[in-house]
A and B are shown apart, each in its own frame.
Chain A
């Protein structure tokens, strides 16, 4: 059914890509992990009856049991609920941050690559400088200026991911603008605006999509790292990084406090990395070894 629809809408090229995606083992495994992550972050209430914010102090530090499958934390809050709602926190931060970075970055990169010239030169020098700094320090710099908090973390993630998307989309635009069909559109008198949106953007998206997937994983790690340090999302928000930080204090008698948020965090990032690697194989075949 999907195949028929794809062919009808996008032609046989899309069908070919879809078949390659279906055959790719990395993508298959990655999609399973991502599916689980998406389902729990969209419907966390479907899997646990407890409120992630409310605890019962009498129940604090209960090891995993039938009532609390992941145990409870130092305030007696149900860890299963907190892990599930924590997925949503990660998803919101990484999605918004990378979406902001990729939308802005792709637009600027495409325009810069399409018009070339002086503006392009200046933009690329700025991008070079931004790319010279390590991700996490750029994020720390933003947090040092804005202070901690959910929205500031999103801003920090958008800020350090942005130059990478400029670089990537500019690169593909430079190649596509020389294509015959772009020349033809120009000769037919199409406006720059419609050439960029009708021909250049759709054809330069595949490296952007691959990078988007990989950066989602990296950004989930950055966000968790910031909240682990106490510089990101603040308590009592359910967040995997915060939960791991809280667990560090009670390692000697409550190891289950880190095991479950840890497993969910790493599985999500592995899922994103596998999907990104797989998409890279399918969509950008020349980089494949």
Chain B
């Protein structure tokens, strides 16, 4: 039994290695897919001829491609990622600071999604095909179809413009808790929709099991049956969806962070695309996608530990 778990984990880790390898190759070649001389692109718009020559030598841009790729990888593994060509700020520090902010936002919004989504899903399941169920289903369909930026606009309109409770941007001030609330609410509400759907489906199945009927016949209180017995077993697929949403919050918060001018990784990448800060685009995309892939593999492994059928 333990053997099959180990084999499964080993397989997933090999896949992970393979994906990271391909990812790093694609990101490395990105600079060659662009029109223009890579050395000029990587040195920045205001670089002098001497600086361009220096970049060319440091990155080995006149050497064979394989050697260049190895230099690129060595640079990443050593953590010495160079500087932004626009601001001159060290990229490793930039990524570290921005990632902390993105992580805070991701955790907080996952918290909102889980509480709302599970509560709505359970409510829908115990009122199956009744009015409350239909309301939850319509809301979750809306949530699944809702563009993040539209929800953000609606929340800004209500909470920042009309009621003036929360600020709409984090520009010009140090990041405080009140700046996180609206972006977290945006991501949290969007994420609640799929969680509600999967909780409902899973709860309906769990409530039809024999042990629930037995528990009912013993005369246990309804709330205990629902939350203690049925929900506990229904949560397995829900946890997987939560993991996926967490991954998306870490990687896919690009639009939300940009609207609220939230200083996270997603906004860093969008800003860098606009300013053609190619070293930052490369490292940023590499970091953010690797995080997403790693989170997904961890979720896969955790799921296989809870549910042996999957292996």
Whether A and B are associated in the same complex: the answer reads yes
Number of CB contacts from chain A to chain B under 8 A: 111
Size class of A's contact patch? 35 or more
Known: A145-B34, A230-B274. A224 touches B157 (CB 8 A): no
Cβ contact within 8 Å between A221 and B147 = yes
Q: Which B residues lie within 8 Å of A225 (CB)?
A: 147-149, 255
Shortest C-beta distance, B124 to chain A (Å), equals: 13
Given A128-B15, A140-B269: A229 and B255 interface contact (C-beta under 8 Å): yes
From B79-87, B138-146, B225-233, the one touching the partner chain is B138-146
Q: Are A273 and B149 in contact, CB atoms less than 8 angstroms apart?
A: no
Q: Is A145 touching B30 in the complex (CB atoms < 8 A)?
A: yes
Apart from A228-B255, A262-B150, 4 more pairs, CB < 8 Å: A144-B30, A225-B149, A251-B157, A265-B147
Q: Which residues of B in the span 112-153 have a Cβ within 8 Å of any Cβ on A?
A: 141-142, 144-150, 153
| A244 engages B141 (CB within 8 Å) | no
Query: Is B285 a contact partner of A273 (Cβ separation < 8 A)?
Result: no
The reply to whether B156 and A244 form a contact with Cβ atoms under 8 Å apart is no
- The 17 listed contacts between A and B (C-beta, < 8 Å) are A129-B23, A133-B293, A136-B252, A140-B270, A145-B34, A224-B147, A225-B149, A225-B255, A229-B270, A231-B270, A248-B259, A251-B161, A265-B147, A266-B147, A269-B146, A273-B141, A289-B204
Whether B196 is near chain A, meaning CB under 8 Å from some CB there, is no
A141 to B33, CA, bound (A): 11
Whether the Cβ atoms of B149 and A270 lie closer than 8 Å is no
Contacts of B274 in A (CB 8 A): 230
Which interface class (under 10, 10 to 19, 20 to 34, 35 or more) fits B? Answer: 35 or more
Enumerate the 5 nearest inter-chain pairs by beta-carbon distance, A residue then B residue, closest first.
Answer: A269-B145, A270-B145, A129-B22, A134-B251, A262-B150
CA of A132 to CA of B290, assembled, Å: 10
List of B residues within 8 angstroms of A144 by Cβ:
30, 273, 281, 285
A residues in contact with B259, CB < 8 Å: 248
Query: Do A248 and B153 have beta carbons less than 8 Å apart?
Result: yes
- Measured in the bound complex, the distance between the Cα atoms of B146 and A241 in whole Å is 13
Interface residues of A in 109-155 (CB under 8 A from B): 125, 128-129, 132-137, 140-141, 143-145
Q: Are B273 and A252 in contact (CB under 8 A)?
A: no
Give the shortest distance, in Å, between A24 (CB) and chain B (any CB): 15
Residues of chain B with a CB closer than 8 A to A251's CB: 153, 156-157, 160-161
B212-233: CB near A (< 8 Å → 1, else 0) gives: 0000000000000000000000
State whether A129 touches B18 (Cβ < 8 A).
Answer: yes
Any B CB within 8 A of the CB of A163:
no
The yes or no answer to A87 lying at the interface (CB within 8 A) is no
Residues of B190-246 contacting chain A, CB below 8 A: 201, 204-205
A236-284 with Cβ < 8 A to chain B: 241, 244-245, 247-248, 251-252, 255, 258, 262, 265-266, 269-270, 273-274
With both beta carbons as reference points, the residue of chain B lying nearest to A220 in the complex is identified as B147
Kindly identify, within residues 258 to 293 of chain B, every residue whose CB is under 8 Å from any CB belonging to chain A. Answer: 258-259, 269-270, 273-274, 281, 285, 288-289, 292-293
Q: Say yes or no for A217: interface residue by CB 8 A criterion.
A: yes
Chain A residues within CB distance 8 Å of chain B = 125, 128-129, 132-137, 140-141, 143-145, 217, 221, 224-225, 228-231, 241, 244-245, 247-248, 251-252, 255, 258, 262, 265-266, 269-270, 273-274, 289
Closest residue to A255 on the B side, CB-wise? B157
In residues 2-58 of chain B, which contact A (Cβ within 8 Å)? Answer: 15, 18-19, 22-23, 26, 30, 33-34
User: What is the bound-complex CA distance between A143 and B34, given in angstroms?
Assistant: 11
Closest chain A residue to B255, Cβ basis? A225
CB distance from A80 to the nearest CB of B (A): 19
State whether A141 touches B285 (Cβ < 8 A): yes
- Shortest distance in angstroms between B42's beta carbon and chain A's nearest beta carbon? 14
CB distance from A160 to the nearest CB of B (A): 12
Chain B's closest residue to A224 (CB) is B147
- How many angstroms from the CA of A144 to the CA of B150 in the assembled complex? 24
* Contact assessment for A143 and B254 in the assembled complex, using a CB-CB cutoff below 8 Å: no
Report the minimum CB–CB distance from A242 to chain B (whole Å). 11
Q: Once the chains bind, are A270 and B142 in contact (CB under 8 Å)?
A: yes
Cα distance, A76 to B273, chains bound together (Å): 31
- The answer, among B18, B142, B289, for a CB contact under 8 Å with A137, is B289
Docked Cα-Cα span, A266 to B33, in Å, equals: 35
CA distance in complex: A137, B22 (Å): 15
Closest Cβ–Cβ distance, residue B117 to chain A (whole Å): 18
Does B99 interact with chain A (Cβ within 8 Å)? no
Alpha-carbon separation in the docked complex, A269 to B141 (Å): 10
Q: Is the CB of A133 within 8 A of B145?
A: no
Cβ–Cβ contact B157 & A273, under 8 A: no
Q: B150, A132: Cβ atoms under 8 Å? A: no
Give CA–CA (A161, B161) in the complex, Å.
Answer: 38
A134-B289, A230-B274 given; A129·B19 CB < 8 A: yes
- CA A205 – CA B26 in complex, angstroms? 32
Q: Which residues of chain A come closer than 8 Å to B281, judged between CB atoms? A: 144
State the Cβ distance, A236 to closest chain B Cβ, in Å. Answer: 19
Q: Contacts of A221 on B, CB cut-off 8 Å?
A: 145, 147
Question: With contacts A144-B273, A258-B153, A262-B153 known, is A137 near B252, CB below 8 A?
Answer: yes
Q: How far is the CA of A265 from the CA of B293 in the complex (A)?
A: 30
Cα separation A243 to B269 with both chains bound (whole Å): 23
- The smallest C-beta distance from A118 to any residue of chain B, in angstroms, reads 17
For A125, list chain B residues within 8 Å (CB).
18
Closest beta carbon of chain A to B253's beta carbon, Å: 10
Are B293 and A132 in contact, CB atoms less than 8 angstroms apart?
A: yes
